[in-house]
Amino acid sequence: MDNTPGPRAGRKEWTALCVLMLPLMLVSMDISVLYFAIPYVSQDLGPSATQQLWILDMYGFVLAGLLITMGALGDRVGRRTLLLVGAAVFGAASIAAAYAHSAELLIAVRALLGLGGAALMPSTLALIRNLFLDEKQRGKAVTVWTAVMTAGVSLGPVVSGLLLEHFWWGSVFLINLPAMALLLVLVPFLVPDFRTPQQGRFDLLSAALSLAALLPVIYGIKELAQHGYEPLPALGITSGLVLGYAFVRRQKRSAHPMIDLGLLGRRAFGGPLFANLLAMFATVGMAVFLTQYLQSVLGKSPFEAALWSLVPGASLIVMAPTAGMLAQRVDRAYVMGGGFLLSALGFLWLTRVHTDSALWITLTAGAIYAGGLIAAMTLANELAIGAAPPERAGSAAAVLESGQELGGALGMAILGSIGAAVYGRDMADAVPAGVPHADAVRETLGGATTVAAQLPAGTADTVMVAAREAFTHGMGFAALGAAIVIAAAGLFSVVMLRGAGRAAPPAASQPAPAPVPAEAEAA
């Protein structure tokens, strides 16, 4: 990373950062905002079980699949231009989603929301690279970006639950409109439009290959996590990997590639990318367990569970800036390693949680592992975006975020499978004879809850006590798996990233002119 001091940002740039955080927060929230609203959507639109899954998942699939394409497009047409187009699409799709009159229309509109979100997310991080040229200021800006992105996913269910207490389900989409309107008004005055002048047409085939590679892989991983091995998801993963190989081959041969493969080979970019993937593996993989534990084991209502789940996030406020300050005095590799180690200890603490454990024990474990992860992820994002050449800031940001999406999908699949395997083993002989739908009871805690509601009180209590014990046991093993992965991430950070923040990057594998404000280019 080049440590040559750049001009310091002023009030205009920091105000621009505040405005850029609005779409980032909402795009992150939209990943989880439908969790509480889906029963109301089902009652109103009557979707099938398959349609209900697509309503929930379509947004994330399209968002993940288009990130690389949109990052490269922003480098070419202008990052502010793409941001504004994305805001307009996101706002229009939000209105359409709020008033959708059929499940099919809502699925289609959720895809359109994913398109708008894919345009917004890499643009916000890429513009930080262009607005904040001073390394210390850029570090603070990236800290804010990481904290807002993480907080958005946690806030989605809370905002959804609050709105649904007073309004209809469409309100969870309409909250996007004021922020998008403010973005469209203020960004043209606060943010220059940076683009990289380059020759050649936009590679539509590479764009199609990137989408066709990522989409079936993430879909297959999620399906395998939910339903176990099935031929179609396995085929999806295989075909996605084959198409991904074709995408990489095309990038190597292209005069103007969508992603700089040489950048991936740099220690200061590829290393943080891998560390972030492992961090999101643990974050997303354990989030499902904690939500179910609060609701189905401790008996909290969905809204109560969402509020309690925000408590561990309070550690983000402390740990993110603390990590930034420490990294100014100590090699950031050691700070990242310390953050991962702290997180691993939090996961190990979580293995000691039982069905009768006090709530504060679970929340403290969550705060420890969340705080450690956000400290490491903040520095990883800062190191990677600082190592990226300014002319490739958009595609570099998109690759970072694609890695995070893939890490989250892998965490949900692998940690979810560990928990499910332990649950199934513990419940194999725990279901009383004669209980109807015993297979559903042995598969998931949700299935046990549904079946128990139809049983006599005594039998229902026996089933639920066993199911809660089995689920908590499975959560402990999943937490142990997360601790091992995160400890490995800490070791990787210390060994591979020492001195990476001080080293100047080598020449780009594909030389390109520096980005210029569009206004200067036009002049």
pLDDT of 514 above 50: no
Between 492 and 39, the higher pLDDT residue: 492
| Bridge-based pairing state of the strands 194-195 and 516-517 | antiparallel
**Residue-level pLDDT at 523:** 41
Return d(Cα 405, Cα 63) in angstroms, integer.
9
Q: Which residues contact 352 (CB under 8 A, 6 or more apart)?
A: 361, 476
- Answer whether residue 508 shows pLDDT above 60: no
Quote the CA–CA distance of 290 and 358 in Å, as a whole number: 14
Question: Which amino acid appears at position 380 of this protein?
Answer: A
State phi, psi for 169 to the nearest 5 degrees: -60, -25
Query: Is the Cβ–Cβ distance between 1 and 387 less than 8 Å?
Result: yes
* pLDDT grade for 200, boundaries at 50, 70 and 90: low
Whole-number mean pLDDT of the chain?
A: 78
Poorest-pLDDT segment among 87-96, 320-329, 431-440, 483-492: 431-440
pTM for this prediction: 0.75
At 146, the amino acid letter reads T
Mean pLDDT confidence for 20-28:
77
**Residue 71 corresponds to which amino acid?**
G
Q: Which amino acid is at 264?
A: L
pLDDT digits (tens, 9 = 90+) for 255-307: 777 777 777 777 777 888 888 889 888 887 787 788 778 877 888 776 777 77
Q: What is the mean pLDDT of residues 477-494?
A: 91
Helix, strand, or coil (residue 314): helix
Distance of CA 468 to the CA centre of its chain: 28
DSSP characters for 303-356?
A: HHHHHHHTTTTHHHHHHHHHHHHHHTTS-HHHHHHHHHHHHHHHHHHHTT--TT
Name the residue with tokens 């798996």.
481
Q: Is residue 2 predicted with pLDDT exceeding 70?
A: no
> Which structure tokens are listed for 308?
């309690």
What's the token pair of residue 382?
Answer: 């800062």
Interval 11-37 mean pLDDT: 76
**Is pLDDT at 38 greater than 60 in this prediction?**
yes
Q: Which residue has the higher pLDDT, 395 or 348?
A: 348
What is the separation, in whole angstroms, between the first and last Cα of the chain? 31
CA distance 21 to 10: 17
pLDDT band at residue 171, thresholds of 50, 70 and 90?
Answer: confident
